[in-house]
């Protein structure tokens, strides 16, 4: 079974702090994704990576950056957390190709106070 | 551009009765379509997917969906609801090779009454 793990289930940070969210997948998938989930808005793509050190901006990249130094690991960085970044963050991975589904981690609920 | 509209934000059914969750999509090319389920405080789990093979797709837990190109719909159904089906359901469309442009619907919350 594909397993996608995220470093924290719940996180509370203060405004202005630098925040790291880590994601690891164990199935050698080329693609990895970071989404943000807010009620009534579904999932919105923050960043996407299709290979080591490669990244593309998604729909809402402002205020976020990412790092992919190893194939299995994809990190999301909030350089200076703000209250409007309070949300559920979901990591996913997939093989490359139109017909392949994404596999999701359990999510990190981040609260910025 | 591709997009997905889930026509109901909330659906409530009684246990043992049929479930219908509606999804319309728009896509410039032949898309792949997916339904995911999310139980409270969990990640998303794939229920089923359509990838241009059979138009009636069977998934896990007794769910199925029918791809109707003429109606641009991909509705999710189940003949008999179970209490454990209570969750949020997302319809998703994808039309790019890298899968980097999957569009999620806003979600439908399914409530199952005893």
CA–CA gap between residue B108 and residue B89 (Å, rounded)? 5
Asked if residue A4 has pLDDT above 80, the reply is yes
Average pLDDT rounded to a whole number, residues A37-53? 91
Which of A43, A49, A60 would you mutate first to test chain B, the one with the most B CBs within 10 A? A43
Of A37-51, A54-68, B55-69, B98-112, least confident by mean pLDDT is B98-112
Which residue in B90, B97, B98 is closest to A42 by CB distance?
B90
Average pLDDT, chain A: 93
| CB atoms near residue B44 (< 10 Å) | 27
Q: Where are the domains of chain A?
A: 4-94
Contact B98 A45 (CB under 8 A): no
Q: Which domain holds residue B57?
A: 3-113
Buried b (16+ CB within 10 A) or exposed e, A73-96: ebbbebeebeeebebbbbbbbbbe
Q: How many domains does chain B have?
A: 1
pLDDT reading at B24 higher than 90:
yes
In chain B, which residues have their Cβ closer than 8 Å to the Cβ of A99? 32, 49, 51
Averaged pLDDT, A58-71: 95
> Going by DSSP bridges, is the β-strand pair A87-94/A31-38 parallel, antiparallel, or unpaired?
antiparallel
- Cα separation, A99 vs B85, whole angstroms: 26
Please, which pLDDT band fits residue A75 given cuts at 50, 70 and 90? very high
Task: Name the residue among A102, A103, A106 with its Cβ closest to that of B42.
Answer: A106
Instruction: Tell me which of A64-68, B62-66, B96-100 is least confident.
Output: B96-100
Residue of A nearest to B37 (CA): A104
Say yes or no for a CB contact (<8 Å) between A33 and B100: yes
Looking at residues A75-86, what average pLDDT do you find? 97
Give the pLDDT confidence score for residue B100 in this predicted structure: 67
How far is the alpha carbon of A35 from chain B, nearest alpha carbon, in Å?
11
Q: How far is CA A68 from CA A13, A30, A60, in A?
A: 23, 11, 18
Instruction: Select the CATH number that applies to the domain covering A4-94 from these four: 2.40.128.130, 3.90.1010.10, 3.90.1170.50, 2.60.40.10.
Output: 2.60.40.10
Q: Is the pLDDT of residue B68 over 70?
A: yes
What is the rounded end-to-end Cα distance, in angstroms, of chain B? 41
Q: What is the mean pLDDT of residues A84-113?
A: 92
- Average pLDDT over every residue of A57-72: 95
pLDDT mean over A45-50: 93
Which CATH number goes with the domain that contains B33? 2.60.40.10
Chain B's closest residue to A97, CA to CA, is B97
Give residue B113's region: left, alpha or beta (phi > 0; psi -120 to 50): beta
- For residue A5, pLDDT beyond 80: yes
Return the pLDDT at B7: 96
Chain B residues in contact with A56 (beta carbon < 8 A)? 100
Q: Is the pLDDT of residue B98 over 80?
A: no
């Amino acid at each position: 079974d594909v397993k996608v793990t995220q470093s924290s289930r719940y996180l509370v940070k203060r405004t202005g702090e630098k925040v790291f969210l880590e994601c690891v997948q164990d199935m050698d998938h080329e693609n990895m994704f970071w989404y943000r989930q807010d009620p009534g808005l579904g999932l919105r793509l923050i960043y996407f990576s299709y290979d080591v050190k490669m990244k593309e901006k998604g729909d809402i990249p402002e205020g976020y950056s990412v790092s992919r130094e190893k194939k299995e690991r994809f990190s999301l960085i909030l350089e200076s957390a703000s209250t409007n970044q309070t949300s559920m963050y979901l990591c996913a991975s997939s093989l490359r190709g139109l017909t392949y589904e994404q596999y999701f981690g359990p999510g990190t609920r981040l609260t910025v106070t | 551009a591709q997009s997905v509209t889930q026509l109901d934000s909330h659906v409530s059914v009684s246990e043992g009765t049929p479930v219908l969750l509606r999804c319309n999509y728009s896509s410039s090319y032949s898309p792949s379509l997916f339904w995911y389920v999310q139980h409270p405080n969990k990640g998303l789990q794939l229920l089923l997917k359509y990838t241009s093979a059979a138009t009636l797709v069977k998934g896990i837990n007794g769910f199925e969906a029918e791809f109707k190109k003429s109606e641009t719909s991909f509705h999710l159904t189940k003949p008999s609801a179970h209490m454990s089906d209570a969750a949020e359901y997302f319809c998703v469309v994808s039309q790019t090779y890298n899968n980097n442009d999957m569009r999620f619907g806003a979600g439908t919350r399914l409530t199952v009454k005893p």
